[in-house]
């Protein structure tokens, strides 16, 4: 008996599972600075500055400011400004506005992302098997409305429902985000749902804690994958391998 025959729904993580960043963060911040006539910021300082600023904002205003009713653009403007300041770049308001607009526009488009070649075929295959397909992501609304569709991942053809932290006000690894997914799928019992992701902490542990099946993808050959396997989690290299696993794995 295959695992597939026991499922009614599959939920899938986005970044690292269906899509990935193209290039490095510093590349886009450099391009934005150059577009405003500024020298290219130091990549290492910029990267570290962003990590600190993003972590601070996520703690102070989680889920992209959902509870504080902070507009998405204000959340990101604060984060980007702090990123530059922490990296040692404090621009005047007019200059910063030009830099920020470029960054915000870029990350709200398909430009910085690449879709894995097996993503669209896998999602369409799953839906053809009669499964409900959901997206579960720690992301803001633009993933749902702009980014995924621009990459060819559309609601109605590749996925049926989405649970995005910026819209729900809850984020991984909080199991509540998976409870919302189960509700959105039609209150399907967790043992009839598989979640696929790339993080033991954010995907596998919280999903399986509710009784869902879990599968981890190791697309980038992370050293952590050995620990994942040792703990008993199924780990596969890509979604093509996931199809084989789903149709041939014995109970």
Residue 108: is its pLDDT beyond 90? Answer: yes
Residue 188: is its pLDDT beyond 90? Answer: yes
85, HSE (Cβ side, Cα atoms, 13 Å):
12
Q: Sheet of 132-137: strands edge to edge?
A: 161-164, 132-137, 9-12, 193-197, 213-217, 235-236
Confidence of residue 25 (pLDDT cuts 50, 70, 90): confident
pLDDT in tens, 39-88: 999 999 999 999 999 999 999 999 999 999 999 999 999 999 999 999 99
Q: What is the three-class DSSP state of 131?
A: coil
pLDDT in tens, 226-249: 999 999 999 999 999 999 999 996
User: Could you give the C-alpha distances from 156 to 19, 28, 32, 147, 203, in angstroms and in order?
Assistant: 18, 32, 35, 15, 24
Residue 251: is its pLDDT beyond 50? Answer: no
How much is the mean pLDDT over the chain? 96
What is the model's pLDDT at position 250?
Answer: 62
What is the model's pLDDT at position 80?
Answer: 97
pLDDT in tens, 109-149: 999 999 999 999 999 999 999 999 999 999 999 999 999 99
Tell me the backbone φ, ψ of residue 228, rounded to 5 degrees: -60, -50
Residue 200: is its pLDDT beyond 90? Answer: yes
Q: Which domains does the chain have, with CATH numbers?
A: 3-20+114-247 (3.40.50.1000), 25-108 (1.10.150.720)
Q: What is the three-class DSSP state of 156?
A: coil
Burial degree of 144 (CB within 10 A; 0-12, 13-18, 19+)? buried
What is the model's pLDDT at position 249?
Answer: 66
* Tokens 């989405």 belong to residue: 162
């Amino acid at each position: 008996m295959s695992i597939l025959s026991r499922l009614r729904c599959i939920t899938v993580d986005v970044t690292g599972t269906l899509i990935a960043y193209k290039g490095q963060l510093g590349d886009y911040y450099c391009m934005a600075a150059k577009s405003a006539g500024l020298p290219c910021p130091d990549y290492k300082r910029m990267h570290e500055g962003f990590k600190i600023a993003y972590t601070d904002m996520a703690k102070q205003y989680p889920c992209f400011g959902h509870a504080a009713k902070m507009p998405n653009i204000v959340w990101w403007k604060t984060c980007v400004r702090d990123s530059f300041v922490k990296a040692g770049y404090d621009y005047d308001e007019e200059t910063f506005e030009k830099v920020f607009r470029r960054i915000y526009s870029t990350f709200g488009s398909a430009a910085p992302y690449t879709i894995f070649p097996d993503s669209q075929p896998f999602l369409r295959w799953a839906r053809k098997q009669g499964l409900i397909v959901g997206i579960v992501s720690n992301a803001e609304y633009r993933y749902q409305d702009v980014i995924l569709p621009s990459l060819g991942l559309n609601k109605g053809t590749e996925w049926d429902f989405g649970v995005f932290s910026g819209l729900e006000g809850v984020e991984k690894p909080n199991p509540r985000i998976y409870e919302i997914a189960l509700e959105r799928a039609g209150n399907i019992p967790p043992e009839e749902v598989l979640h696929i992701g790339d993080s033991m902490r954010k995907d596998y542990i919280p999903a399986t804690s509710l009784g869902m099946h879990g599968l981890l993808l190791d697309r980038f050959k992370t050293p952590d994958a050995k620990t994942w396997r040792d703990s008993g989690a199924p780990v596969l290299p890509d979604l093509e391998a996931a199809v084989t696993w789903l149709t041939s794995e014995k109970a």
